[in-house]
Structure formats: structure tokens, C-alpha cells
Structure 1
Amino acid sequence: MRIVSTFLLLMAMAVSLKAQKGIEWKQATAGGYTYRYVTNDPMGARFYTLKNGLTVILSKNTKEPRVAVRVAVRAGSNSDPVDHTGLAHYLEHLLFKGTDKYGSLDWSKEKPLLDQVEKLYEQYNKTTDPAQRKTIYQQIDQVSGEAAKYAIAGEYDRMMKVLGSQATNAHTWVEETVYEEDIPANAMDKFLAIQAERFRYPVFRIFHTELEAVYEEKNRGLDNDGNKMQEAMFSSIFPTHHYGQQTTIGTIEHLKNPSIVAIRQFYDKFYVPNNMAIIMAGDFNPDELVAKIDKQFAFMQPKPVEEYKGPKEAPINGPEVKEVFGPSAESVRLVYRAPAAGTRDAMLADLASSVLSNGNAGLIDLNLNKQQKVLGAGAGLWQYRDYGIFFLVASPKQGQTLEAAKDLLMGQLNDLKNGNFEESLIPAIVANSKLNELQGLENNGNRVNQLMDDYIKSKGASWNKNVAMIDEMKKVSKKELSDFAKGFFTDNNYVILYKRKGEDKNVTKVDKPPITPVETNEGKTSPFVAAVIESKLPAVKPVWIDYDNDLQKRQLNNAELLYVPNKENGLFRLTYQFDMGGWNNKLLPIAAQYLEYLGTDKLTSEAISKQFYNLACSFDVQPGDDQTAITISGLGENFEKAVRLFEDLIRNCQPDAEALENLKATILKARANNKLNKGSIARGLQSYAYYGAQNPFNYVLPEAALQALKPEDLTTILHSLFNYQHKIGYYGPLSLTASSGSLKNLHPLPGSWTSAPAPVKFERITQGSNKVLFANYDAVQSEIFWVRSLSKYDPKNEALVNVFNNYFGGGMGTIVFSVIRESKALAYSTYAFVNTPSRKSDPFSFVAYVGSQADKMNDAIKAMNELLNDLPQVEQGFTNARTGLMKDMETDRIQPNAIIASYLNAQRKGITVDQRQVNYEAYKNITLNDLDAFHREKLSQQPYTYCVVASDKKVSLDDLKKYGELKVLSLEEIFGY
């Protein structure tokens, strides 16, 4: 649980004190550039508007030598033409395909063919006769294949890999398209040159195979009941606005009839400097950086941009009731249309959502989740320019109807409207927001995402309101919030969405078109990219952890205390690490769950939650397979109070029969829901493949034993937990002497440790022949995994494994991605990599994956098998993979708050030094021949276990038998219940 308190208002350091003096826009000039800033902004963000209208937003943070980047365009699915929905999203995909300078072997020969493809698509788009469309598509496929002979797939991703980027990605949503990176600070000059070229003249090459990837993405959405609920939520609340009437991925009909001309028109219209922002947070000199951005992007010319102006929606005359059907677990949502972003009502709605659900002490948290009246419930607000969506959600417990869960949610709304909550809750929520803000300052990604969100909503004009938000929330009284809730949550202005289990008869999948695999020219390089790769980056010296000097060790009675000082802020984190978990005792994970609902002889469970909340602290008990971690964290000056409160709880928690009976029902309902979840089924299949019928995934307490549990069975485990050997870790503002002295009193230890029960042993299967494990699931897609156990863990092999993964199939720009997605268009998502175990007793293991339409399953299996048997050898690709790892590691920093965890993880693997340093030195000597030898020895012509989750109505079991001995597993065999 995460707990915060009103005390944090005193702890907001200079930020809070300055905020009282006023928050307002100011202007300054430095380095020849004028910028705006908000006084007392904890991010210190600078807002520049360049001569061509391009917005540049910079937030300096020197904690590590990296920079998080967002290139934001204020156009998403809202701006799609009504006859070409999904266009903004598809354009996002195409911005990774290169320009006339990169991504092409010979632009003069490629361009005429691409022009021909464009014309054919326009003809295809306007043709309705099925036979003629088929003929035209055959021409598209043929000409696209010719054009692809001059295309080089994945050059953008390879450049980012060489730079050492950690987060190459992009996303499209209703009002935005955003391109994301996280780069080393020393790579900025190269990065800006690449980005300027990327947006100068994007070429829409390898079009029809990328379109097929979007088809796959659409089909994945059709298989996702959560996605279907989201679409129903938007369409119900916004019956006329594009928010609800144009999905980001587009309609099937529009996906089948793309127009390259329309995509180019969209790009020319919205990808203009006065509609875009470059937002960065990290280690840089803002005066120098803005000049570099200006120089690189001065070529962009502004144009008038007509923003989408949505209609004013009529009031909802409800409650309206909608139903969504699918195979996953049932749930209910109550959905309200919220006010526009930046308004005071939007702020009040946000505050109301936290009063209802903040994860700890909200009305829903205490009255529903804490009392186990539902399986789980919460509330939230999604805010956009014109409107927002306020929603409450609940999953019913065992035997509970969706209607009953809905009534419980309505009860919490009534409590909010009637003011049935403590006066102190609002200032506590405000304090929680302040704590989150202070913690968020440490993370560059958090900084750029907040700035990006504000730019999309207001072009950065409302950043002053964002900075002042916490101070404004402080002014809200309980009466004002209750009065707002009475007017906002009326008896008829909402939609009820029921997600029911059942067949969705409205699903229409996007059919597989006939696509001939295209050439990707793997290993070939354009002159532009060659220049990027060959030019040297300024040197950055890597920094390693020295476990003998960067953390201190002291004996605390018979336990080892690990200590790292926090010199950055006043927060602490205390950890108790046990070498035992669920494999030692099946009841331990259940006892940890039970603790959440228990009180002591002096305090109820609800009172304990509130006390932690007021101390600005939290605790978390996480039993793993063979380890258990307890964490207490929060405000340093409340360290002793928080630890004392937790120690009293775990040592003196009182049995509660009613809470246990509710917990049993909760566990059984969660188990039933897991059997409806495709991802859970896939994880169970893989565990079965690695270990056999008895495996860690299905090692659970049988229902009869669960039902027979008595409260004392679990409280006895909790009371005695500290009698087992454990290590203690302290990160915080106290000195080593002060922290150890305090812990001697707070955390009494036994004179001798109790021996932990011996853990159950699970032995990995050595595959002797190909096998196929199949689980039937009602889905459009097939999920295919290749599983294989490899040799025992040896730290000397980590570096080789890392380079292999970065070359072969551990992300975009790898061999697997290039062949299966970009060349053959067989999947939206695919990967293949070797897993490094977390403990020295475990072996390395291999997993590959393709998620494809069911009618592509055989082609997908064939394509992956070809790669597993014959490793394509691309020298430049290997060099990029190795160089990228080294560049990444040179700027990787283990922060002080993570040193103890790093040390404990190293101990589990039998390592006494920072393994990153060992790997870094080893990278220098690894060759492509080493990868080939590793591939031939471990993967090529080896037996695998295929794990397939698909509908037996859409895939042929006889086909699966061709790949190995087939075993169709029941859900009971997979889950153990």
C-alpha cells in the first residue's frame, strides 16, 4: 500500500515555501534565446518558441548522463479524416521507415516504384468490385516487392541502437502522436541530426507489410475485452464527438482501404513546427541545446493549422446501459462525462477521484476493497482538451452479480456527495500529490511526460496551472467538494457498462491478404546511416558499483545490516529480505494477503491504514518463490513511528474469521478469473513446458486445504516471521550509527534463528524431442511460444547472451523483428531471446514468441523455425548491437536507492562484483562468430516445446501435430485447480 499524509505539507521543502509567494509566468533571455518559465516550478522548465513556431520545452536534471525525449504532434485520431480513420496511427508507424536519404539503397530507382504503389492504392481505394480489388492488390504486392529491393528496413532503429537509446517507441491517442526516446547525453548532436532528417521528408516505404502489422494490432484489440470496454466507454459518453466516434486504430473498412495520398496530406497539414514540440529532460545545458535544436529544425516552415473543434455533447439522459461480451472475467464501470481540461471543475473531478480511490484511504479503498465487499474496485479520471472521462470500476467477488457490484459503487458516490468522509482526507491527498511530485522529479521520463501532456492540452499555456494545482487543491473544502459531487454525479447523467462473460458475436477480424515477403536488405547501409555509425561520440566513462565501498555492512545482533545513506531528500526505505517464500510454505503468500485485512488488539485494520497515511509511509509484503521481501518506506522523520507501527501489526495481528472467509472467496474468484485470462494461460503453458506437469505455476494450495484454513494458521506464520533469518537494508537520511541503534530497539531479533522449511524442488525438463502444448481459447489471434531450457547459469556467459539478444530478437531492429514483422508481415509482436536467471542454481532458458492471426499460424511457425535453425549473419547488425550495449552501459547509473537491491541480486547469482563491469569488458572481445557458435550449439536443430494458445475453431490441431507430439491441456492441468 502507498500511504501519504498532511505532514508532507510541512516537508515540501523550498518548493512549498516558494509557492506561497506566487506562481506566475515570467520571461527571460539567455544564450540569445528568449524563453518563458513559471516561477517556483520544481522542474525548472523553460518554454521556447522558435522563429518558425516550433515549441521547445527543456527541463534540466543532471542525476544521470541521459536525456528523455518526446517529439509531440498535436494531432491524433481526433484529426483523422472521417473517411480514413486510423490514419494518424498508421502514419506514426511509417515515421520509422526513413527518408530519401536513409532507408534506401537507391532513391532514384525506388521512388518511381513507390509512386506506382501510391497510385495503385488510390485505385484500390476507389474500387468496389471484389475481383478487380483482388487483381489490383496482386499488382500492389508485386510492385511493392520490386520497390522493397531498394529499401533498407529498420535503419532508424539501428541508428538509435548505436546511439544507446533505451526507449525507442511512439504512440498515438485521441489528441496526440508522440515519438519517444531516451538517449545518452553525449549523443545529442547525432540524435538531433537524425530527428531533423526523419521529419524533413518521410518516405512511406514497405507500406503494405506495415499495414499488415496494423491489421494484426487491430485483431489483438478484438481479442482484448479491456480494449472493447474502453471503446464502448468512449462511444457511449461521446455519441457525436470524435473522442467516441473515431477509434485510434480505425475501422476495419478503412484499414482495408488505405490512401497514401491521404496520409501524406495529413502529414503536410499537421506535422508543421507551429503544431509540434520537442520536449527534453535530462543532463544538458539549455542555452546550448536550444540553439542546436533551432539550427537543425529551422528548415521546417509553419502553416495555419485548423484544430478539430468537437461538437458540444448533449447531456446524457440515462442512466444508459451497455453490455460487452467476451471470454475474460466480468466487471462493471460507471462512466461520467467530465469537464474540459484546465477548468476548476476538472480539478475538482480529479480530487473527487482521489477521495473515492487513492489506493490507500479513499472511500472505495476502505469501504469496499479493505472490507472485501468486491474482488477489486477503483476510480479514475482521464482528461482531454474538450472533455474528460470519469469512471468507477469494480470486479465482482465470488457469487456476486455485476448489478450488486454496481450498487456498491453507487453507495460510495453517495458517501462522497453527502460528505461522509473525514475532513483530513483532502489535505492528505494534497500531501500525497506533493510527495509524488518530489519523487517524480528524479525521473526524466516522468518530467517529459507531464510536460508533453500539458503541451497537447494547451500548447504549454497552462503549465502555470499545473504547477499551482497542489496549492489550488489545498483551498478546496469538504463542503465545496461535496457540493460539486452532488451536481456532477446526478441520477441520470452516466453510462453503466457491463463486461459479461460470453461470445462476442460482433467480432469481425481483418482477413489475411496475400503478401509476398519483401526484401529487407539486412546488413546493407545507406550513406547517411553509415556516416552516423562511423562518427565518434564524445567519451563517457562508465561508473560501476563497488559493493565494498558504496554500501556499508554492520552486524545487528545476529542479522546483517546493509546501509546506504540518502543525501538527496528526506525519504527512507527499510527492507527485510528472507531466503524463503511460497516454495518453503504454501501458506506464506496467503498469510501476506491476510495481513492487509488485520488489526491488532488496539487498532483496527482501517485505523492502521489511516495511521500509515498520516505518517506519509507505506509497507509492502511480497513473498516470492524462494524469497520474501518486506519494505517499509516514506518520510524519514517518521521512520521510527512507521517501523514501530508495522512491527506491532505483524507481531500482534489478531485472527479475524470473517476476514479469512472473505479472503478465501477472493482467492477462489481470482483463480477463476485467471482461467479466463489469455496471458495467464500462456504463462501456465510455459511453466508446464519448462518443468512438466508439476511446476511452479500450478504449485498452489488445493481448494479443500484453502477452505480448511483457520485464522490462527496464518497469524501464527505472521507472528513468527521475524524468527527466520533475514537481512536488513536501510536507505535513508539517518547515519549508520543512528539507524542501527534505532533498529536494535524497533526490530528485536531472536537469540537464534528458526530453521526455514525446506523448499520444494522443481527440476527443469531437458527437451529430447519436439512437443506441442495447446490450450483452447476463444480468440481471433494465435499466441505461439517456443520454449527451451539451456545450460546452467555461469556469469561468464552473461555478456555473450546480452549481445546475442540485442542482435537476434530482443527488440526492434533485430533479426527476428526484421524478418517476421517487416519482411513477412506475420505479426504485430514478435521476439526471441535467452533469459538470464536470477539465481545461480537455475539454467539459462530460451523463449521465442509470435502473436499472429490464426490463419497465419503455420507461416509464422515456419518463419521462426528458419531463424532458429539458421542464424542470418549481418556484420553491421552485429556491430550495432554490440556498440549499442556498450553505449547504453556507459551512461547507465545505479542510483543510491537501488544499491542494496543490486547487491542482494548479485548475491543470489553468486556474484561479488558489479556484473555490468564484467560484461562491459567482455563485450569488446565478442565476435559475430561467437554468436553463430552459440546459436548452433544452443538453438539450431534443437528440440523445442511449442506453447500455443488459440481457438480450436480457427487453428487445426492436425497442423500442430506436424511440429511435435501434441498434448491438449485442460485449464485444470495448467492452473492446478
Structure 2
Amino acid sequence: MPEMTRRTTLCAAAALAAATPAARATAQTATPAAAPEAPLFGAKIWKLGNGLTVAYVENRRAPVIAQYLYYSAGAGEDPAGRSGVAHFLEHMMFKGSPHVPSGVLSRRVAREGGNDNAFTSRDVTAYYQQVEASRLPMIMQMEADRFAAALIPADELESERSVVLEERRQRTDSNPRARFQEAFRAALWGPQTWPGRPIIGWADEIRAITRDDLVGFHQHFYAPQNATLVISGAVPEDQVRALVEEHYGPVPTRAVRHRDRAAPPTAAHEPRLVTREPQAREALLLRAWMAPSLTTPRAEMSLPLEVLAHLLGGGQGSRLHAALVETGLAVSAGASYDSEAYGVTEFMVYAVPRRGVAPERLEEAANAAIGGLLQDGPTEAEVARSIRQLSAGSLMALDSFGAAPRMLGGVLAVGLPADVVEYWPSRIRGVTRDQVIAAGRAVMGEAANTTAWLLPEGA
């Protein structure tokens, strides 16, 4: 399943905020004098004796409960030559544990009217269930059972490998845009670096994964000291604490292999990539710069880069929309950046040219818009507008029942404090125009980058 993070949650909410008349009117008003700000969720956070971090957000808007268990290991921890191990293990975690036979966890949750799933990102692997609140003990018992001792049965390995390979064929190999985006990351970072490998894995390496690889990954990373449990819903805190202690307290500690990623490259593997695809129906321009995150030494640039991404490519009113879409050169254009990655990340822009527009013309116009922004900087009004819309997006995201566990779990699992989420609106409001200019020039003006085109064959 695709990863759901604070970034994706807030981006969707910020886009909705920008699109609604009421939100636009709010965004045009002056920001009132700041009062002491309440946390977004007011999460209660504690640790068990075995090292497991627990976060709880009480939410009584509906009689339901959500449980998310994050492991601080993702595709970035895949062994060399074995890309896809973290994702493959995610699949095998549904194949049974000592007291829960293969497939039973999902069937029990479905029988109770709930839902469950899992996702793997570059930085985390997470498993979650949403059920009626009184069923919390049931899902805790089952999740803790596979946490402590997943079976990873050898007789189900090959059938699940076929499932993973079919997932890759459907999501990537049969999709020209997905193939291009995978090749683009490999061009920027290198195909065998931890940022450049696909999360699902290269097909030949998926075929080479052994049960020992999966068992080793589980033993090295699936330990209480390397996990974060996030629960949100309509159960009193004292009951949650007692249930967590009962079900997760006995999970034994074990030696943990902490993240030990190789230093990222300092130069782009391929500064330019052009892919011609007979199956592509429209062209796509991508450009990405290597960028710091909140977990790197240059963390002070992260929040200004979030504001920069919004004012450059955050929908209507952004620089790229004005320069490319409103002029008729592109049907869509935007920018993205994730400050909460573990280690280096990318600052990316994209554009889809309107039919009949030459790629060179669109690229030149995009570069001119970026160059003008770097040279002169954004206006104070642009910075203020982006901050207001991003702040509004964070508040609108609270309406989603799964927002708290996704947003809190994602930051806690990469070693960031909960305050990154809880006080994000006030932190983003503290970003200045000068900080945005400095961060933009440091990244988009100086950092290694790759420009890539996906072109329909014959274009």
C-alpha cells in the first residue's frame, strides 16, 4: 500500500484549503497575534520497559480505534544486492505467528467490520488496523504476537514472491510513467544506492531474496527498541496503558542493528535522462535537487524549503502554475519536498506539457521561472500566503481519523520529536522570506540535480 505520511496528509489538505472559497478568504486575512499554541493532537507518549515507544491520542468523535505499529527500518535498510527485503518481509508478516495462523489476522479484523493493511517506505515499515473501539485487545494481541515471533513460513515464500513480482509488474513494469520515475531516482542517486533503489526492489534482486534474508531483517530491526506504537481513538488512556503493557510489555528485547546507511552521493549519477516510451501518452518533465531534511546537519533549511515548495508549485497561485499552466505551456506543474525523511531527500519540480508544446520550450520556461525566483526571491506576500495555506492544511488534516497515527508515527519512527507535528503550524509561521531565499539558493542554485524527460515515442 502507498505510504501515508504527514507530508502527503498536509499536502492534500493544503491543496483543498487553496481550492475552497472560504479558505481563500481566510488566507487573505492577517494572521492574529500569536497566543500560546495548543498541540494539534496532545499525544501522550511513554516507553515500556522493553524499549517500545508508545503514543496515544484520545479521539471520541466516533467509537473506533486505530493501531499503527511502526518499525524504524524501511527500504533504505535493504542489504546490498537484496533491494526489496523490507517490502517482501511486510508481505510475509501476514503469514502467521505462534497464536495467529496465516491470513487469520486480516480475516478477524474484516469480520469485525474493520480494516487492516501495511506499507513500506524508504524509512519505515508500518502495520495498522482500524476497528470498533472495544476490539482493541483483539488487534493488540494479534499484532504483538507477530511482533514477537513472526513465522515467515518457508512453504509460503515462493507463492508470496510471485505476489510481490506481480505487484511490481502491475505498478511499475506495465506503467511507463512509473518506470520513468523509478529510472529518474536511479539517475539522480545511482541504481544501487539506498536512495536510488526502488522500495519494492529491482526484479532480479526480488528473485534472489532468501528466507534467511527475511528472518535476518526481522531479527535485526523488528525489536521493541526500534519500534513505535501509535494508537488513536475512543478508549480511555488508562485502559490503553494497561492493554499496551499486557500485550506489548512481554515482547522480548533483542540486539538491534541501527540504521547504518552509506553516505549519499554528492554528484548526480546522471545529470540528464531522456526516455522515449512507445506506451507513454503524454510527456513529463522532472527535475530534482539533492536536499537536506530535518534529520540532517542542515536541518534549518527544511521548513523554508517546505514554504518554497508551496509557493513555487503548490497549485493555483504558485510561480510554476502562473509561468507554465496559465500561459498555456503545460496542463499541470508543481513542486514537492519532504522534510521528514531520514537523511537526504529531494526537492522536486514537475510539469506536463500541453499537447503540441515542444519540450525545449517548456523546460526553458520552467528554468526561467526558477531562475527568477532564485535571483529576486519571493515576495513577502507569496511567503505569507504559502504559510497561511500550509497552516490551514494542517488544521484541515485533523478531520481525518487516521491523521494522528500517520503524522505522529512517521516522525517518531525517524527519530524526530512529536513536537515536529504537534507545533508544526507555529513552526512554519516562523519561517521568514530571507530563510526561504537562502534555502532556495543553497539547494536549487547549488545542489547536485538531475533533469529528466519522459517522451512519447516519436515526440
Q: TM-score, normalised by structure 1?
A: 0.42
Do 2:67 and 2:232's aligned partners in 1 also have CA atoms closer than 8 Å? yes
1:75 maps to 73
For 1:179, the aligned partner's letter is Y
Query: Is it true that 1:297 corresponds to 2:248 in the alignment?
Result: yes
* Candidates 166, 173, 185, aligned match of 1:216: 166
1:171 is paired with a residue whose SS is: strand
Per chain length, whose mean CA-contact separation is higher, i.e. which structure has more relative contact order (CA < 8 Å, sep 6+)?
A: 2
TM-fit CA distance, 1:193: 1.5
Q: Structure 1 residues 8 and 450 mapped into 2: Cα distance closer, same or farther (>3 Å)?
A: farther
2:16 maps to none
Do 1:73 and 1:276's aligned partners in 2 also have CA atoms closer than 8 Å? yes
1:320 maps to 271
TM-fit CA distance, 1:317: 6.4
Query: Is it true that 1:371 corresponds to 2:320 in the alignment?
Result: no
Query: Is it true that 1:160 corresponds to 2:182 in the alignment?
Result: no
2:29 maps to 7
Q: How does 1:807-956 map to 2 (within 5 A)?
A: none
Query: Is it true that 1:465 corresponds to 2:415 in the alignment?
Result: no
1:195 maps to 143
2:98 is paired with a residue whose SS is: coil
**Root-mean-square deviation over aligned CA pairs:** 2.4
Q: Structure 1 residues 376 and 44 mapped into 2: Cα distance closer, same or farther (>3 Å)?
A: same
Q: How does 1:706-717 map to 2 (within 5 A)?
A: none
* Candidates 406, 423, 434, aligned match of 1:449: 406
Query: Is it true that 1:493 corresponds to 2:448 in the alignment?
Result: yes
Q: How does 1:493-892 map to 2 (within 5 A)?
A: 493-502=448-457
* Candidates 57, 60, 63, aligned match of 2:61: 63
1:52 is paired with a residue whose SS is: coil
- Distance of 1:253 and 1:189 partners within structure 2: 41
Q: Structure 1 residues 429 and 171 mapped into 2: Cα distance closer, same or farther (>3 Å)?
A: same
1:350 maps to 306
More off after superposition, 63-72 vs 467-476: 467-476
Q: Structure 1 residues 163 and 502 mapped into 2: Cα distance closer, same or farther (>3 Å)?
A: same
- Distance of 1:272 and 1:314 partners within structure 2: 30
1:285 maps to 236
- Distance of 1:319 and 1:469 partners within structure 2: 36
Residue deviations 1:182-239 (CA, integer Å, cap 9, x gap): 1111111222122222323222232221111111012221112232233223223323
1:487 is paired with a residue whose SS is: helix
2:35 maps to 17
2:12 maps to none
Q: Structure 1 residues 203 and 325 mapped into 2: Cα distance closer, same or farther (>3 Å)?
A: farther
Do 2:100 and 2:142's aligned partners in 1 also have CA atoms closer than 8 Å? no
Do 2:76 and 2:195's aligned partners in 1 also have CA atoms closer than 8 Å? no
- Distance of 1:102 and 1:457 partners within structure 2: 29
For 1:17, the aligned partner's letter is A
Do 1:231 and 1:244's aligned partners in 2 also have CA atoms closer than 8 Å? no
* Candidates 290, 293, 318, aligned match of 1:340: 293
Q: Structure 1 residues 434 and 207 mapped into 2: Cα distance closer, same or farther (>3 Å)?
A: same
Do 1:77 and 1:85's aligned partners in 2 also have CA atoms closer than 8 Å? yes
Residue deviations 1:94-118 (CA, integer Å, cap 9, x gap): 1111123332xxxxxxxxxxxxxxx
1:441 is paired with a residue whose SS is: helix
Q: Structure 1 residues 291 and 495 mapped into 2: Cα distance closer, same or farther (>3 Å)?
A: same
TM-fit CA distance, 1:79: 1.3
1:444 is paired with a residue whose SS is: coil
- Distance of 1:309 and 1:492 partners within structure 2: 24
For 1:69, the aligned partner's letter is Q
Residue deviations 1:718-775 (CA, integer Å, cap 9, x gap): xxxxxxxxxxxxxxxxxxxxxxxxxxxxxxxxxxxxxxxxxxxxxxxxxxxxxxxxxx
Residue deviations 1:429-482 (CA, integer Å, cap 9, x gap): 222122222222222211111112102221xx4322333433333333323322
Do 1:322 and 1:496's aligned partners in 2 also have CA atoms closer than 8 Å? yes
For 2:113, the aligned partner's letter is G
Query: Is it true that 1:178 corresponds to 2:133 in the alignment?
Result: no
Q: Structure 1 residues 210 and 408 mapped into 2: Cα distance closer, same or farther (>3 Å)?
A: same
2:87 maps to 89
- Distance of 2:402 and 2:229 partners within structure 1: 14
Do 1:97 and 1:156's aligned partners in 2 also have CA atoms closer than 8 Å? no
1:436 maps to 393
Q: Structure 1 residues 180 and 317 mapped into 2: Cα distance closer, same or farther (>3 Å)?
A: closer
Residue deviations 1:654-684 (CA, integer Å, cap 9, x gap): xxxxxxxxxxxxxxxxxx9xxxxxxxxxxxx
Q: Structure 1 residues 190 and 475 mapped into 2: Cα distance closer, same or farther (>3 Å)?
A: closer
Q: Structure 1 residues 318 and 82 mapped into 2: Cα distance closer, same or farther (>3 Å)?
A: closer
For 2:169, the aligned partner's letter is N
- Distance of 1:312 and 1:376 partners within structure 2: 35
Identity of aligned residues (%): 18
Query: Structure 2: any 5+ residue segments left out of the alignment?
Result: 1-18
* Candidates 170, 183, 186, aligned match of 1:232: 183
Do 1:60 and 1:283's aligned partners in 2 also have CA atoms closer than 8 Å? yes
1:867 maps to none
1:415 maps to 372
Do 2:186 and 2:269's aligned partners in 1 also have CA atoms closer than 8 Å? no
1:9 is paired with a residue whose SS is: coil
Q: Structure 1 residues 400 and 185 mapped into 2: Cα distance closer, same or farther (>3 Å)?
A: same
1:249 maps to 200
Query: Structure 1: any 5+ residue segments left out of the alignment?
Result: 20-39, 104-152, 504-671, 673-977
Q: Which has the larger radius of gyration?
A: 1
Q: Structure 1 residues 360 and 68 mapped into 2: Cα distance closer, same or farther (>3 Å)?
A: farther
- Distance of 2:218 and 2:268 partners within structure 1: 39
- Distance of 1:466 and 1:433 partners within structure 2: 13
2:353 maps to 396
1:266 is paired with a residue whose SS is: helix
TM-fit CA distance, 1:358: 1.8
